[in-house]
Amino acid sequence: MEPPSTGGIASGAGNHSTHKFHPCDEAVIATNDDASDCKRCAVRLGYWKDDYIGYFVRNQERKAPEINRGYFARVKGVEMCVEKFLKKTSGNCQIINLGCGFDTLYFRLRDTAHQVKNFIELDFPTVTARKCYTIKRNKALLAKIHDEDGEVRLSPTDLHGPSYHLMGVDLRNLDEVDNKLQQAEVDFSLPTIFLAECVLVYIEAQNCRNLLKWIAQKFQAAVFVNYEQVNMNDRFGEVMLNNLRGRGCSLAGVESCLSLDTQRNRFKDSGWSGARAWDMVQVYESISAAERQRIERLEMLDEGELLLQLFQHYCLVVAWLGVAFQDIDITCVPVVEELMSSLNID
């Protein structure tokens, strides 16, 4: 759920979408604030290390333990996929973060041995305007983007550094997406990993197919990591849908979130070579036992059943183009008893 409520600074330059502003766009944009607040809370409690989220989020509100543990699984699941991709490419690659929100992966990667050729972030101009504004005001963030030789170019909604590009765009407008990627000096022949956290679900099915087909046609070797809702056709899923609809989010792409099969087929039907999908129960189990035990000691979990239901209704999908990255996988522990014990369910 990554695209902030309107505010911050006005979006102007860089927003040339020919698409009409959809009625639910503002509600979708607001989901970024929710996701960022949740990540900030979990980081403050010690679930994972992120020295940068605090620049973008000031909120100190404490979230429920189930939410914190859910976001831990989400962040770690995506990170595991990125780590495997970076090891396979030795950094000779690009990262493109779709619906990036206030995600801080670029800044966190800069503190590691991992370096990439190009890091591109795309989101609604209203979102990128706020992210640009925050980066511009904080030297600690700017210092990560430019080196001695490189300059940083800024407009109200776009930021360009030597190897980092943040741009406002409507992902439903492929001409605009293409134009922005050209501005970011994208290399279509370079291995590329696309990241999307609760983004595609808000895009109308045909527009989403067009986007995925376009990527499959333009890029030679790519991986797509998608974190999103799943099993939306049961009772718990219906409650989730009603809650989001009550906030003005229509979930235009929910037909791909009915099962792990529909999640995989979304990519296979759009020209991708293959796809794997796991629910978050499986993803959580793939995290090392020591790391799970560490975070499970941070907070008592009163409602183990609720966490299990949440994990069963979110998933991680990895799709690939070509054969170079078809072995990016998450090792799962399928033993139900072990699952239940690690989720603190008696």
- Are the CB atoms for 258 and 231 separated by under 8 Å? yes
74 assigned to a ligand binding site: yes
Calpha distance 6→13 (Å, rounded):
16
DSSP 186-246: --TTS-EEEEEES-GGGS-HHHHHHHHHHHHHH-SSEEEEEEEE--TTSHHHHHHHHHHHH
Q: Which of 320, 308, 319 is nearest to 280 (CA)?
A: 308
| Contacts of 306 by beta carbon, 8 Å cutoff, 6+ apart | 66
197 assigned to a ligand binding site: yes
**What length is written for the chain?**
346
**Torsion angle defined by CA atoms of residues 204, 121, 109 and 276, in that order, rounded to the nearest 10 degrees:** 20
316 assigned to a ligand binding site: no
Other C-beta atoms lying within 10 Å of the C-beta of residue 341: 11
- Are the CB atoms for 228 and 317 separated by under 8 Å? yes
What residues are designated binding site?
74, 99, 170-171, 197
What residues are designated binding site for S-adenosyl-L-methionine?
74, 99, 170-171, 197
